[in-house]
Amino acid sequence: MKTANAPASSRLRKGRTSIPGQIYLVTTVTRDRNRVFDEFEAGCALCQTLNHLDRLELVRNLCFVVMPDHLHWLFTLGERRDLSAVVRMAKNNSARSLGGSIWQPGFHDRAIRREEDVLPAARYIVANPLRAGLVKKIGDYPFWYATWL
């Protein structure tokens, strides 16, 4: 149970909903847009964190891409934690594994309410490295996952 004295980062922002079983698209950026994930080991650490949350059944990963200075993550929220707690765990665990504070406070989320919107959202996520000019084909980019592939 959250108290009135809990830090703001532990509470859902006004208007944010957290519904178990709901699909969410979350975007979060690094502090000062530092290109933390240009380092191969850092990108691997964040991917491992996201996969660990899936193994714990806090989320079911559908798709993600770790960009040099931000993360796009599409998942189905599990039953045991709310949306803010899951994102906080992802950010805290990855920062701890990399030895410091790497994330900007907060995150942007969008609930995907219609089944027909899931695949277009996943395509948008996976295409990020292509649009950013990081690779010529997605198979060349090391930090992405899509459950359909």
pLDDT above 50 (res 2) = no
Per-residue pLDDT reduced to its tens digit, 68-84? 999 999 999 999 999 99
Q: Which residue has the higher pLDDT, 127 or 12?
A: 127
Q: What Å distances lie between residue 36 and 6, 32, 131, 140, CA to CA?
A: 29, 10, 19, 19
| pLDDT in the model for residue 105 | 96
32: left (phi over 0), alpha (psi -120 to 50) or beta: left
Q: For residue 1, give the 3-state DSSP assignment.
A: coil
As to burial, measured by CB atoms within 10 angstroms (0-12 exposed, 13-18 middle, 19+ buried), residue 4 is exposed
Per-residue pLDDT reduced to its tens digit, 89-137? 999 999 999 999 999 999 999 999 999 999 999 999 999 999 999 999 9
Is the Cβ–Cβ distance between 36 and 42 less than 8 Å? yes
Residue 78, C-beta contacts closer than 8 angstroms, at least 6 positions apart: 20, 57, 58, 59, 60, 86
Is the Cβ–Cβ distance between 59 and 75 less than 8 Å? yes
pLDDT above 70 (res 29) = yes
Q: Rounded to two decimals, what is the model's pTM? A: 0.88
Mean pLDDT (the chain) is 91
Structure tokens at 105: 């406070």
| pLDDT in the model for residue 73 | 98
The full DSSP string for 38-71 is GSHHHHHHHHHHHHHHHHTTSEEEEEEEEETTEE
